[in-house]
Structure 1
């Protein structure tokens, strides 16, 4: 369970990283539409695990690797935004968030299920 401080910092980082990926660093990643779905921060606020979702991207692993290679630049831009709110800019670890794909797969599985109707009960 995250503390209130962790939750506040996570929301702040998610908002600022979303703006960086949507506006400032979009040209670095071939104008890919990158969404920050979740940010989890360590209790000491030193490490942030950032979960990303990509839309209309064919090579998701290659894009994630490009983001990891440019994490220093992203962290620097993040530091410019949060320098008055945070004492230390956390180290950023990027992960692919596949919850949307997982949900679509589960929906497809449930749609293919054939459930027979319940037997009718006889009345007295």
Structure 2
């Protein structure tokens, strides 16, 4: 059981690296801005992978970025299949990673609380 977990982690890490390169090199959508693949989580049977991403340098709403990436998922999966040693490449589902924004928001709240605390003293 623990071996399966490690295998899915290894495959997820490899897919993350490969997808980062493919998105940078193959996505010809200038409206997307800079897409960063944060993490890839692969289900145990390797049939599906959830691809967490962030995006910078775009005016598009996050939902539109996810829609465009999911529209390209089939092509990206095909390209992964050509360069990968996997017998079957998981179906890709792109999901915006909110953890980075949440972390930045929490950091700004902490900074504000510290600044307020210093001004009260």
TM-score bracket, shorter-length normalisation: 0.7 to 0.9
Gap runs ≥5 in structure 1 = 117-124
- Higher helix proportion (structure 1 or 2): 2
Alpha-carbon shift at residue 98 of structure 1 (Å): 1.8
The aligned length equals 112
TM-score (structure 1 length as normaliser): 0.82
CA distance in 1, matches of 2:107, 2:83: 39
Alpha-carbon shift at residue 111 of structure 1 (Å): 1.4
Task: Note the 1:96-115 alignment, pairs <5 A.
Answer: 96-113=96-113, 114-115=116-117
Partner residue in 2 for 1:74: 76
Partner residue in 2 for 1:47: 48
| Aligned alpha-carbon RMSD (Å) | 1.8
CA distance in 2, matches of 1:71, 1:24: 11
TM-score (structure 2 length as normaliser): 0.84
Alpha-carbon shift at residue 32 of structure 1 (Å): 2.1
Q: Which has the larger radius of gyration?
A: 1
Alpha-carbon shift at residue 72 of structure 1 (Å): 1.0
CA distance in 2, matches of 1:32, 1:104: 20
Alpha-carbon shift at residue 115 of structure 1 (Å): 4.1
